[in-house]
């Protein structure tokens, strides 16, 4: 069995869902869920996304790209920090997700220095 099929089945069982229960949530059939869990059928990204949402996890976890089963917590939009600009989003996209907290702090400092330098020009 593939990592994806194993993780879907395991996550479904941890949620105490039957195949029919998962199928109902994702608007599919029990047979389709069974075929996905036994590697007879490979789900599309859209289907995998629905399954991940139903199981309160991420597509990346189901695909075996990470061992973190948790979704990224929602950002508290209390106004403490302004939303990211388009440029900041692009930089964030290229940062290694495996970076240590120390490396992330160094990156933050470099970005701050770059912002200050830009303001002086």
In the chain, DSSP assigns E strands to: none
Residue 96 has pLDDT above 80, yes or no: no
Q: Residue 94 in 3-state DSSP?
A: helix
Single pTM value for the model: 0.59
- Report DSSP letters for 50-65, one per residue: HHHHHTTS-HHHHTTS
Give me 4's structure tokens.
Answer: 């994806």
Residue 48 has pLDDT above 80, yes or no: yes
Supply the mean pLDDT for the chain.
80
Domains of the chain by start residue, with CATH: 3-62 (1.10.260.40), 86-120 (no CATH)
- The tens digit of pLDDT for each residue in 30-39 reads 999 999 999 9
* Cβ neighbours for 4, distance < 8 A, ≥ 6 positions apart: 42, 43, 48, 62, 63, 64
Residue 119 has pLDDT above 70, yes or no: no
Mean pLDDT of 88-102: 64
């Amino acid at each position: 069995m593939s990592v994806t099929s194993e993780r879907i089945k395991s996550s479904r069982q941890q949620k105490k869902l039957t195949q029919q229960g998962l199928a109902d949530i994702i608007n599919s059939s029990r047979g389709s869920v069974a075929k996905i869990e036994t590697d007879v059928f490979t789900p599309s990204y859209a289907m995998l996304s629905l399954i991940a949402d139903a199981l309160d996890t991420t597509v990346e976890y189901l695909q075996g790209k990470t061992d973190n089963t948790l979704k990224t917590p929602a950002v508290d939009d209390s106004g403490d920090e302004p939303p990211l600009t388009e440029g900041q989003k692009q930089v964030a996209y290229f940062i290694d997700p495996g970076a240590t907290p120390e490396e992330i702090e160094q990156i933050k400092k470099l970005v701050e220095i770059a912002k200050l330098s830009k303001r002086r020009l």
